[in-house]
Structure 1
Amino acid sequence: MELLNFPKYTFRFKNRENKIYIFDAIRKKFVVLTPEEWVRQHTVQFLMQEKNYPISLINVEKELIFNDLKKRYDIVIFNSDGSIFLVVECKRSKIKIDQHTFDQIARYNLILNAEYLMVTNGLDHYYCTMDYEAQQYQFLRDIPEYKKS
């Protein structure tokens, strides 16, 4: 797998039936290592190790229903009260982040109502905060570190 624009992290791998698996600390199991999963696992480590979000507040790859369609978000970080702090959309590194990507995460956020959004392909990272009154997002240089409430 290629180097991404994240600090270097240590991962656990295994090989089974000619497929490589990576251990997901959130789901507590090995998952098939795809290019998107590589980005997702780096993002999870970034959120835990650099931004200090506790593993207990992180959720990965859960289903949500939007206009009768089943979709899956990549990563969600909850506030301690159960509300959603951050939604992350991960793309494989060869996918260019464009308006379509932001439209996708904005649609998810119509249901999730997060304070912050992050979009990454592992090389480029974009961070936004939501302005619900103006119905728009404002770009940020970074997302805040975890603060115990």
Structure 2
Amino acid sequence: MQDLNFPKFSFRFKNSENKISIFDDIRKKFVILQPEEWVRQHCVQYLMQVKGYPKSLINVEKELIVNDLRKRYDIVIFNPDGSIHVIVECKAPKIKITQSTFDQIARYNLTLNASYLMVTNGLNHYYCQMDFEAEHYNFLQDIPNYNA
């Protein structure tokens, strides 16, 4: 897999029937290593090891309903009270981050009401803080650390 714009992390891999899998610390299982999964696993490690978010507050690849449609978010970080702190949308490295990517995560956030949004393709990362009163998001240099 290609190098990403994240620190170097160590991962567990498994080869089964000529398919490489990577161990997901959150789901506690091996998952097929696709380009988007490579980005997702780096992002999870970044959130835990660099930003300090506890594993117990992170959720990966769960279904949500948006306008009666079934969707799946990539990563969600909860607050200790159960509300949602951050939504992360991961794309494969070859996928360009466009306005439609932000529209997608904004639609998810209509249901989830997260304070922060992160969009990444592993090479470019974008961070936003929601302004619910003005109904828009403000770009940031990074999302806050867990204890900030």
TM over 0.5: yes
> For 1:130-141, what aligned pairs fall within 5 Å after superposition?
130-141=130-141
Aligned to 1:87: 87
Task: Find the residue that maps to 2:63 and give its secondary structure.
Answer: strand
> For 1:1-149, what aligned pairs fall within 5 Å after superposition?
1-147=1-147
Count residues in correspondence: 148
Q: In structure 1, give the amino acid aligned to 2:116.
A: Y
Task: Find the residue that maps to 1:23 and give its secondary structure.
Answer: strand
Q: 1:113: Cα distance to partner?
A: 0.1
Task: Find the residue that maps to 1:49 and give its secondary structure.
Answer: helix
Structure 1: give runs of 5+ residues left out of the alignment: none
Q: In structure 1, give the amino acid aligned to 2:102.
A: F
Q: In structure 1, give the amino acid aligned to 2:117.
A: L
What is the CA deviation profile of residues 39-59 of structure 1, one whole-angstrom value per residue up to 9, with x for unaligned ones?
Answer: 000000000000000000000
Q: 1:18: Cα distance to partner?
A: 1.1
Q: 1:21: Cα distance to partner?
A: 0.3
- The two structures, once aligned, show a CA RMSD in angstroms of 0.8
- TM-score, length basis structure 1: 0.98
Task: Find the residue that maps to 2:30 and give its secondary structure.
Answer: strand
- TM-score, length basis structure 2: 0.99
Task: Find the residue that maps to 1:100 and give its secondary structure.
Answer: helix
Q: In structure 2, give the amino acid aligned to 1:138.
A: N
CA distance in 2, matches of 1:75, 1:132: 21
Q: Runs (4+) of structure 1 moved beyond 6 Å?
A: none
CA distance in 1, matches of 2:121, 2:110: 22
Identity %: 76
CA distance in 2, matches of 1:103, 1:17: 38
CA distance in 2, matches of 1:118, 1:46: 12
Q: 1:37: Cα distance to partner?
A: 0.1
Q: 1:68: Cα distance to partner?
A: 1.4
CA distance in 2, matches of 1:68, 1:79: 26
Q: In structure 2, give the amino acid aligned to 1:126.
A: Y
